Copies of this chain bind each other. A is one copy, B any other.
């Protein structure tokens, strides 16, 4: 638990300590773990909101505008922009700089991009860790913005209290199919760029699809609103902000079971991810590191063995009686 003061600084709201800890998380540096363990008990207060949707729907601008709305209420905001598609080009860092400019002088806003593609830790895992840090730092609202609509994005959205699903008018048939799959995770639906042709049609389609899955809403008691926005024109952002707050109020007042279910689910995922990662670390440590692993992989590549049997052999070595 050396360097424990870092965690204390985060609890005091120190920006540089927070930035450093999040960078360690993004780099999958195990140095972050003792601090995270210490911070965890100070969390659970923030409203975690996920923004997801296909590339090109204008999520970044929308999030920027929503941040300003939360600031008008005097609530502090942390933004995590998750962009796994830019591992090499520094796109995430560039994005940060552009974003930071808007809220640069506002100490109530902390924005960070993450692009973790570490070998052992997944993106869902590192995002959850970063949320712990921002929550412990004292941010009232934490916004997770994802790029794309793959499984990671869905998982990340699942880990939020409130998920805003963003689309735009007329994105073609594939989008319709995806919408159908993503309907399940949306608490608030946003049709952005609503000044474009076909916005009304998209709203009607969404309403129809929501109607189709209304059994679920009868169960939870929350009917997802559909909000039309034009973030670049500053249109409808107040409505979106209100809808996000209403969902939080709903969860706290009427949706205790739903809230609890989500928190339990998220915590379970987080624990299991950490467990998998640590177990793998121990196995690699035990067999003698990358060189020994390389030999095992060569055998598989040359079909002298197979990955399924080799995994079992490795586990047997580590778990089979020997103490660490």
- Give the residues in chain B near A173, CB-CB below 8 Å: 56
Option from B86, B181, B264 in Cβ contact (under 8 Å) with A181: B86
Is A257 positioned at the interface, with any CB of B under 8 Å from its CB?
no
Let me know if B275 and A283 touch, CB within 8 A.
Answer: yes
Flag whether A175 is at the interface (Cβ < 8 A). Answer: yes
Interface check A306, CB cutoff 8 A: yes
Question: Which chain B residues lie closer than 8 Å to A36 at the CB level?
Answer: 306, 308
Measured between alpha carbons, how far is A263 from B177 in the docked complex, in Å?
Answer: 33
Q: Of A146, A150, A153, A276, which is in contact with the most chain B CB atoms at under 10 Å from its CB?
A: A150
A274 and B307 contacting across the interface, CB-CB below 8 Å: yes
| Minimal beta-carbon separation of A190 from chain B (angstroms) | 15
Q: Give the dominant DSSP class at A's interface.
A: helix
* Interface check A31, CB cutoff 8 A: no
- Structural contact, A311 and B271, CB atoms closer than 8 A: yes
Cβ-defined contact, B151 with A149, below 8 A: no
The answer on a CB contact under 8 Å between B84 and A297 is: no
Assembly CA distance A242 to B14 (angstroms) = 57
Chain B residue with the shortest CB-CB distance to A269: B119
From the candidates B307, B314, B318, name the one contacting A270 in the complex (CB within 8 A): B307
Contacts of A93 in B (CB 8 A): none
CB within 8 Å for A306 and B41 given contacts A55-B54, A300-B267: yes
Find A87's partner among B148, B177, B184, B267 (CB 8 Å cutoff). B184
A85-B272 in contact given A282-B315, A306-B40 (Cβ < 8 Å)? no
Specify the chain B residue showing the minimal Cβ separation from A266.
B301
B264 contacts A301, CB within 8 Å? yes
**Per-position 1/0 for A289-307, Cβ under 8 A of B:** 0000100111011010011
CB of A252 closer than 8 Å to a CB of B? no
Measured between C-beta atoms, what is the minimum distance from A120 to chain B in Å? 8
Distance A173 CA – B184 CA, assembled complex (angstroms): 28
CB distance from A119 to the nearest CB of B (A): 7
- Kindly list the 10 A-B residue pairs having the minimum CB-CB distance in the complex, ordered from nearest: A150-B150, A40-B306, A279-B279, A85-B181, A84-B151, A86-B181, A321-B323, A148-B150, A37-B308, A55-B174
State the Cβ distance, A140 to closest chain B Cβ, in Å.
18
**Is A123's CB within 8 Å of the partner chain B?**
yes
